[in-house]
Chain A
Amino acid sequence: MTQTVGEPGPRTGSRTGAACTATYVFAVCRGGDPATLTGLPGQAAGNPVRLLPFGSLEAVVQDVSAAEFGEETLRERLTDRAELERCARAHHAVIAAVAGSAPTLPLPLATLYLGDERARAALREDERRFLAVLQRIAGRVEWGVKVYARREAPEGPDRSATVAPTRTLTRTATRTATRTAARTPVRTTAGSAAAGAGAVDSGAHSGRAYLERVRGARQERERRQQAGLVAAETVDRALRGVAVASRRLRTHDTTLTGERGVQLLNAAYLVADGHEREVAAAVAEVRADPACQGVEVEVTGPWVPYSFVDGGE
């Protein structure tokens, strides 16, 4: 994500003087309107965000302190989630503002050059690629679609039947119940006898009953995983139908998705501008699809086509 473009020679950080500035490039655009940039804080409030022409295009740039954006310092800053968020939001705010007035190709967060001349020279080398990408994304927007497995997966009614009234429940069954049961002294035969007639039966075959429950839980999990995959594919297929291009991104870890279930699909779709209704219709359709009842579909957009600037498909 961090892309420090520069010469292999002297490092940005080791250059002398705090007054030394670097050129931060947000995006490349064609025919951008400088008026849209006024007042944007960018990555260094106080320094204006401006257009830097190169070849037939313009770069959206800002002077930033080279010390603050040195390789080491920057890596340090971007490992801090709060700081990373702040930088990403500032980056996005500028890109969104420019994109409102001209075809815009967002560059990765923290694209830096040692001054305007370096930036201009390096960007000019990539001009043909930029033009190709701009042509592809012009008049198109990105929609992000994420599919999550529902937290409370609907457990089959047969489930309660397979879970015999013994103290050990399978892993997928409520763990709290297991723990409470482990602490309470139901280990005695009197206790299990009191638990009901079923306990006598399961007491005789508790080992086998346990194996059966494990098997049941495994099958249930496999079924759920399979259903999740089918649902993700269904969503993907429906949205590809309205999209010009699509990309499957890496799914997020549950520590990031928080309260939600496991992320099954994280995809981006490049859709013609103004086709919000088609996207909404496709989403409504998959939400109603019986194959997608166990999942939650989250849609965000329209975005500047961040996911489609690398050439891709």
Chain B
Amino acid sequence: MTRAAGEPVRAGSGRLELDPDRVGRDLVCLVLTVVELLRQLMERQALHRCDQGDVTDEQMEKIGTTLILLDERMDELCAQHGLTRDELNLDLGPLGTLLER
């Protein structure tokens, strides 16, 4: 990256985008990606616990309800920042993507 800071660049050209608004949005996107990753891990963990059978029906109901709320909250957060869930992801090269698609 030999580009001088502050130099304007065209969007979508594959170059670094240094427009302040855009950087803010990208940061939000990154933060939400991490939150979404944690949410998915929690879901996975919850399913795992349920499969092990050491969770009562009541607890299962509670876990499920919490996850519903989390899922809704994610939708709200994404909507607030004009993002879609599909945009929340990171390309890890040969490893694939951070989040499942």
Contact = CB atoms under 8 A, between A and B. Distances in A.
A214 B51 CA distance: 13
Interface in A177-223: 178-179, 182, 205-211, 214-215, 218, 221
Chain A interface mostly helix, strand, loop or mixed? Answer: helix
A6 to B, nearest CB: 18
Chain B interface mostly helix, strand, loop or mixed? Answer: helix
Contact of B61 (A182, A208, A254): A208
Contacts, number: 74
Contacts of A285: none
A258 to B, nearest CB: 12
A250 interface: yes
Nearest to B39: A171
B15 A80 contact: yes
Interface string A64-92: 00000000100110011110000000000
Interface in B18-61: 43-44, 46-47, 50, 57, 60-61
A210 B2 contact: no
Interface bin, chain B? 20 to 34
B84 A214 contact: no
A255 interface: yes
A207 B68 contact: yes
A262 interface: yes
A207 B15 contact: no
B50 A221 contact: no
A221 B100 contact: yes
B2 A76 contact: yes
Interface of A: 72, 75-76, 79-82, 168, 171, 175, 178-179, 182, 205-211, 214-215, 218, 221, 250, 253-255, 262
